[in-house]
Amino acid sequence: MKNILVLCTGNSCRSQIAEGYLRHFAKDEARIYSAGVETHGVNPRAIAIMKEDGLDISHHTSNNVEEYFDIDFDYVITVCDNAKERCPYFPTKAQKFHHNFPDPAKATGTEEEIMAEFRAVREMIKAYSEQFIQAHINGHTLIIDSDDTDNHT
């Protein structure tokens, strides 16, 4: 079974959303973890927009990447530039992937405008997560279309 780590700055929004969708699409075919180079707690708006799409991430915890140094990851996905730059060295065979998603926690405006940004980012992460699982877990030869993908062994 493959181990996938999603890494972000604070493990509060983007990585939590990605963890939820990767688990959903992988079903029992992979173990999914998320962490941050810092921990900020799970953002309540992230929980709310995932619930709108039928996924409950309210039980997720905000974890520091150092908690997972003993796990042999197959894939490490950074979902923000800050995490990619600060990503610690993993002494594993993990393939690294990167996609810089906008940070919905930085959205400003009315509550409706902020939630609209959270939903837009959710949809980006959902599409990426589904394609990632199809390409790397389900064995399909689907190329993830992203200028930000950094895949090397």
- Which residues are catalytically annotated? 8, 80, 87
Angle ∠(79,107,44) on CA atoms, nearest 5? 75
Q: Do residues 22 and 31 lie in contact, with contact meaning Cβ atoms separated by under 8 Å? A: no
SS3 label, residue 2: strand
Q: What are phi and psi of 35, to 5 degrees?
A: -155, 170
Quickly list DSSP for 48-77.
HHHHHTT---TT----BGGGGTTS--SEEE
